[in-house]
Amino acid sequence: MLLLFFFFFFVLGVPVSAQTSLKIRGVNLGGWLVLEKWIKPSLFAEWDPFDPTSPKDEWTYCERLGKSECQKRLDEHWDTWVSVEEMNDLADAGITHVRVPVGWWITGDVEEGEPYVSGQWKYFARMTRWARERGIEVWLDLHAVPGSQNGFDNSGRLGNATWDASTRNVNRSLAAIETIVRRVDAEGLRNDVTGFGLLNEPDQHIDYWLMLDFYNKAYDTIRTVLGDGISIYIGDMFSPQSFNWFWHAGNPIRATNVFLDSHIYACFVDDLKAMTPKQHVTQVCRFERAHINQCCWDGWPPQPTELSRFVGEWTAAYDQTPSPELELASPESRPLTDDRKRFLLQYVIAQMVTFEATPEESAPYLSGAPGLDFHGWFFWNFRMEADVYREWDYLRGVREGWIPKLERNVDVSDQLGLTCEDLEQEAQDCTDGVVSPFPPIPGWTGVPCAESPPRRVLAQTILSALALFSFMALLAALLILARANRLLQKIPVSSRRLRRAVCFCCPGDYDAIKQRAPDDESPASSSFYGANAQILPTTEAPISAIA
Phi, psi of 123 (to 5 degrees): -75, -35
Q: Residue 521's pLDDT band (boundaries 50, 70, 90)?
A: very low
What is the average per-residue pLDDT within 5-34?
61
Distance CA 251, CA 209 (A): 13
pLDDT at 498: 40
Higher pLDDT: 300 or 225? It is 225
Beta strands at 193-197 and 137-144: parallel, antiparallel or unpaired: parallel
> Is the distance from CB of 357 to CB of 285 less than 8 angstroms?
no
Least confident of 17-31, 54-68, 281-295, 374-388: 17-31
pLDDT at 274: 96
pLDDT at 19: 36
> Is the distance from CB of 26 to CB of 440 less than 8 angstroms?
no
Q: Residue 1's pLDDT band (boundaries 50, 70, 90)?
A: very low
pLDDT at 249: 76
Q: What DSSP character marks residue 343?
A: H
pLDDT at 468: 78
Q: What is the pLDDT of residues 446-472, one digit of tens each?
A: 999 986 555 555 656 677 777 777 778
Instruction: Report the alpha-carbon angle 347-454-339, nearest 5.
Output: 15
Q: Would you call 514 exposed, middle or buried from its count of C-beta atoms within 10 A (0-12, 13-18, 19+)?
A: middle
Q: To the nearest whole number, what is the mean pLDDT of the chain?
A: 86
Choose, from 137, 288, 313, 391, the residue flagged as catalytic. Answer: 313
- Active-site residue 201, yes or no? yes
**Under the phi-then-psi rule, with left for phi > 0, alpha for psi from -120 to 50, and beta for the rest, what region is 458?**
alpha
- Active-site residue 313, yes or no? yes
Q: Residue 502's pLDDT band (boundaries 50, 70, 90)?
A: very low
Give the DSSP per-residue string, 104-146.
GGGGT---TT-------HHHHHHHHHHHHHTT-EEEEEEEE-T
Q: Report residue 340 CA to chain centroid gap.
A: 14
Q: What is the pLDDT of residues 227-285, one digit of tens each?
A: 999 999 999 999 999 999 999 877 778 899 999 999 999 999 999 999 999 999 999 99
Can you list the positions of beta strands (E) in 369-427?
374-379
Q: What is the pLDDT of residues 66-121, one digit of tens each?
A: 999 999 999 999 999 999 999 999 999 999 999 999 999 999 999 999 999 999 99
Q: Would you call 446 exposed, middle or buried from its count of C-beta atoms within 10 A (0-12, 13-18, 19+)?
A: middle
Choose, from 58, 201, 356, 361, the residue flagged as catalytic. Answer: 201
Q: What is the pLDDT of residues 129-184, one digit of tens each?
A: 999 999 999 999 999 999 999 999 999 999 999 999 999 999 999 999 999 999 99
pLDDT at 459: 59
Cβ partners under 8 Å of residue 72, min gap 6: none
Closest by Cα among 109, 208, 195, 192 to 156? 109
Cβ partners under 8 Å of residue 512, min gap 6: 489
Q: How many CB atoms lie within 10 A of CB 48?
A: 10
Q: How many CB atoms lie within 10 A of CB 54?
A: 16
> Is the distance from CB of 87 to CB of 131 less than 8 angstroms?
yes
Phi, psi of 262 (to 5 degrees): -115, 145
